[in-house]
Structure 1
């Protein structure tokens, strides 16, 4: 058991994807916010209702009741003074009080509309005022001015009692209005506290919800992605055996599983590739060793065979000169065969020695002007060219970084073959082209000779391949094989243009600079005796 072992999730939760988690989280968040928004809206509406009732109804109603009381007191003071003195000036407060009473009564009726209890208090005040008006105020106000009203003295006690009833009704009204205002203020304070609590709870819940969403995203998405990235970095650093642990929602775990499956496949592919690379390295080492042994064998064999071959050639030639014509015809023929065979063997050994030196002895890369190399080659072949009546033309040739000796051998073999394998009924016409093809130079040597059949286009580059007898064309069959080796050593390729049927066209490419590791092909095995080139005979 490891320290970070987690309890297994419920099966239905384990099947939830990131999209489902996000949908459920968004739905729950919206539902909670909707509930909180509804509660907040209700609290705000309730606060506004109570605040409007307190400001627009309760406080103005209490103020109007107090002013109504003041108007009634003015009436009572004016009636009492007019009744005691009969002075008309005392009726002014009474008259003004009546107008103020009517205004405040109408105001209270409008403010208390729908409040039956307070309207009942207003009616009680109005009833008490009406009784006082009927028994005291209006009769005294109707008395003539100038003398005290006898009615004022007669009904003084009744007037006092009636106005005391008015005072009592006003007191009860104001007391209830004050109580209503206090209750409204208390309700407003309670709702305000509730509002503050609700919005505080909304703020806390939003913070908690944000933290929950953040933590959910971190645990459900960020942490699995970070774990996946960490595993990927470990694998990128070279530990391909490191497993990728599937974590998080179902889709991320599927992604981790697919990546881990890809990792396992890559491990298998890498193991197979490494095994193949090791086999290739072993084969390359064996090939290099075998190639070196073949080159060493060719070099040593050609040197070691020189002396005994010279002896065989010298003594057979001595036999031919001393005993020629003295023996029978068959003996002269045998001696001639021996001399010819020794000479041919000498030629083959020299050609094999030159072939083995390509890339080993001649490997001095420098700037080579192919124009000058071509001119020297034509000059060296001038006797054969003149005897064949050949015409040689060429395009401007470039300057390359190459081995000058190998370039001379290349042109000598190509031009020499074009002159040698000519048609008997026409003079050779040879043309050399050169053009830039991307990063390479592309050359072609075209002649009007006997041509090469398409089925032999590949075999002509195999060493010692001959289709013609030595009586038809001289040579050892190594020329085009040496050309192929030289071209490949300089990073190019060579091939026969099988579409050209008017003679032979050999195309090859050369790099402006030789590759760092020049191609050194294995010495191919001869498939049988034959001519230096396999030519397409005239029909």
Structure 2
């Protein structure tokens, strides 16, 4: 039985379903030249002058690749392939003019063409959906050897794989477009919510400060006001992190950037000493990245090192990098508490915190922001252990 919704399924493959309908996607690298090359191979292996890949819709036959003739469209009623493409097996006809299935067909009678030899193989997917057929034909009677028929069947399976590749590519493109739209909406929503919440929160914190000025330090209300202020400031920091997370990655403005200069800026942002004898030190490397987002990336990684430093040693953060024909790799190594191997992938997800004793406050978005920035640049962020203890962020940027 023919699947319900044939035209809808064909649209999933990027194949138009009406004579007046444009293809859904321009993918010549998938459905054009590769399929034509495959048809060319089929005609040569079978010794035939003509070959086509036909897609059969609910009411038409569309030739998506053709050799020896110009690709065209005809009604499904006139199609030879539509008579046999759902048979589940190859069809080989030495002389179509004496075959009762095709003798009156306009492709045989001369009304459209004068086909005599005809061979076709269904293009059936793993799910059982038959897209159409691969066929070769001639204006004179002929035959195929068993080996030639076997080769034609192999090529038909290859055609299905190419069309499946196109379907998956379309699905991926659609998902990426939905993701872009979702991210844009998220950024807009986060900005609006951040603004709407920050205004009253800032007002509350302002009154808390006024209250602290008016209340004696030994009054019970002083402690309450401190707790309210601390909670309010944490909430304000969380709003800023959510806003950063939603906005990071989009609209990159790549330029040649000095890693050393950005590291120096980060040290200034965080109030850290910089240089060979400082808390933060950096080698130099030229990167083709977005300057602002690199700064936020390094700032988050170094801030993490500060928040999770080891109580047993003075904090040190070393930023280094190497470049090769693949691109560049930046290493941000600290000597802090480190992250257990089982947690290194998990902490890169949004809102994940380890809640270890002695850890500083955080929203669980810092490393997620870093990952988002790196992936927007087409790179990858991984975490590993620093020799001697600590965490090293390994950031790969493509060339």
Give structure 1 regions of 4+ aligned residues with deviation exceeding 4 angstroms: 223-227, 232-236, 245-249, 270-275, 323-327, 498-501
Deviation at 1:502, TM superposition (A): 1.8
Number of aligned residues: 281
Q: In the alignment, which residue of structure 2 is the partner of 1:432?
A: 319
Which residue of the other structure, out of 244, 247, 260, is the alignment partner of 2:152? 260
Note if 1:292 corresponds to 2:179: no
| SS across alignment from 1:350 | helix
Once the two structures are superposed, the pairs formed by residues 127-526 of structure 1 within 5 Å of their partners are: 227-228=47-48, 230-231=50-51, 236-237=65-66, 241-245=133-137, 248=142, 252-270=144-162, 272-323=164-215, 329=220, 331-360=221-250, 363-381=252-270, 383-385=271-273, 390-395=278-283, 397-468=284-355, 472-498=359-385, 500=387, 502-512=389-399
Q: Compared with structure 1, are the counterparts of its residues 332 and 287 closer, same or farther at alpha carbon in structure 2 (3 Å cutoff)? A: same
Q: 8 Å contact 2:46–2:148 — kept in the other structure?
A: no
CA RMSD of aligned residues (A): 3.4
Q: Compared with structure 1, are the counterparts of its residues 465 and 353 closer, same or farther at alpha carbon in structure 2 (3 Å cutoff)? A: same
Q: Compared with structure 1, are the counterparts of its residues 376 and 288 closer, same or farther at alpha carbon in structure 2 (3 Å cutoff)? A: closer
Q: 8 Å contact 1:451–1:501 — kept in the other structure?
A: no
Q: Compared with structure 1, are the counterparts of its residues 385 and 462 closer, same or farther at alpha carbon in structure 2 (3 Å cutoff)? A: farther
Q: 8 Å contact 2:263–2:282 — kept in the other structure?
A: no
Q: 8 Å contact 1:432–1:444 — kept in the other structure?
A: yes
- Could you state the TM-score of these two structures normalised by the residue count of structure 1? 0.46
Q: Hey, which of these two has a bigger chunk of strand by percent?
A: 2
Q: 8 Å contact 2:332–2:394 — kept in the other structure?
A: yes
| SS across alignment from 2:228 | helix
Q: Compared with structure 1, are the counterparts of its residues 268 and 451 closer, same or farther at alpha carbon in structure 2 (3 Å cutoff)? A: same
| SS across alignment from 1:405 | helix
**Counterpart-to-counterpart distance in 2, 1:423 and 1:224:** 72
**Counterpart-to-counterpart distance in 2, 1:230 and 1:277:** 30
TM-superposition CA deviations, 1:244-284 (whole Å, max 9, x none): 359756xx432332233234434544554454444434433
| SS across alignment from 2:393 | strand
**Counterpart-to-counterpart distance in 2, 1:439 and 1:267:** 33
| SS across alignment from 1:466 | coil
